[in-house]
Structures are given as C-alpha cells and as structure tokens.
Amino acid sequence: MLTHSQGGNSGMTAALHAPEHIRAVVSLEPSGAPDPALHDAGLLAKVPHLFVWGDYLDRHDVWVRSQPAARRWRDALVSAGCDVTWLELPATGMRGSSHALMADDNSDDIASLVLVWLRQRGLA
C-alpha cells in the first residue's frame, strides 16, 4: 500500500482492518497515523512499513503538529516487532524535496530508494 499526506492515516487504518491483504505500507509524508492508544499495532507486526520525509518539516506548522502522530505510530509498530524504516531524505544527503515528493526533480531518486527497500524485503 502506498500512501501520501492525508491518505497516510486512512491507508494505515485500512491496513489494520485487513493486514492479511497488505504486504507493505509505504507512507510518503503522512499527515496523520493511527493512535496507538486506540489501535493495536501488533496486527501489523508482519507488515513492513517505510516512512519517507522530505525537507523543511520543522519549519511548517502542519508538520510540527502532525509528525508526532506518525512518530508515535512508528514507535508502536517497532514495539510490536514490525520492520519499520523511517527515512528522512535530507539525512541521506538528498535535499530539495517538497511535500509532493512524486513531482519533485528528484522523484526518480526517491522512487529508487523505495524500490530498493521493497526489493530488500522480497516485495518487488
């Protein structure tokens, strides 16, 4: 399952309801995530998750407010034994990504990172 922005919370919640049908969850800058106090991350323990983040998250109120929910969900998944990768592109040296990662000049490079991640898990 591939999600972006507001689709992040919806996609991750959908995965909770049908984990047997989800092979992986790739979330590009999700603006929300399930609340681990209300949802059992253990249901997705066998579903690898990749979170991908671009630049300037600390400079925009939307991300300052919403990224902690994704971090809480990530932490709950990790505690449940899930394979979780949290990829902040600037930390890899890839800079200049907007919120629309798939439309940026470096979108092919980002797609390659996602594809490598999927291949490492036998999913591509």
- The CATH number for 78's domain is 3.40.50.1820
Determine what percent of the chain is predicted with pLDDT higher than 70: 100
pLDDT range class, residue 112, cuts 50, 70, 90: very high
Q: What domain range includes position 115?
A: 2-120
Looking only at the bridges linking them, the beta strands covering 25-28 and 49-53 are parallel
Asked whether 14 and 44 are in contact (CB, 8 A), the reply is no
Average pLDDT (110-114) is 93
pLDDT at 113: 94
* Cβ-count burial 10-39 (b if 16+ within 10 Å, e if not): ebbebbbeebeebebbbbbbbbbbbebeeb
In the predicted structure, residue 94 carries a pLDDT above the cut 90: no
Q: Enter the pTM of the model.
A: 0.92
Average pLDDT (22-40) is 96
* Residue 121 identity (one-letter amino acid): R
Task: Provide DSSP, 71-123.
Answer: HHHHHHHHHTT--EEEEEGGGGT-----S-GGGSTTHHHHHHHHHHHHHHTT-
The size of the chain, in residues, is 124
Count of structural domains within the chain = 1
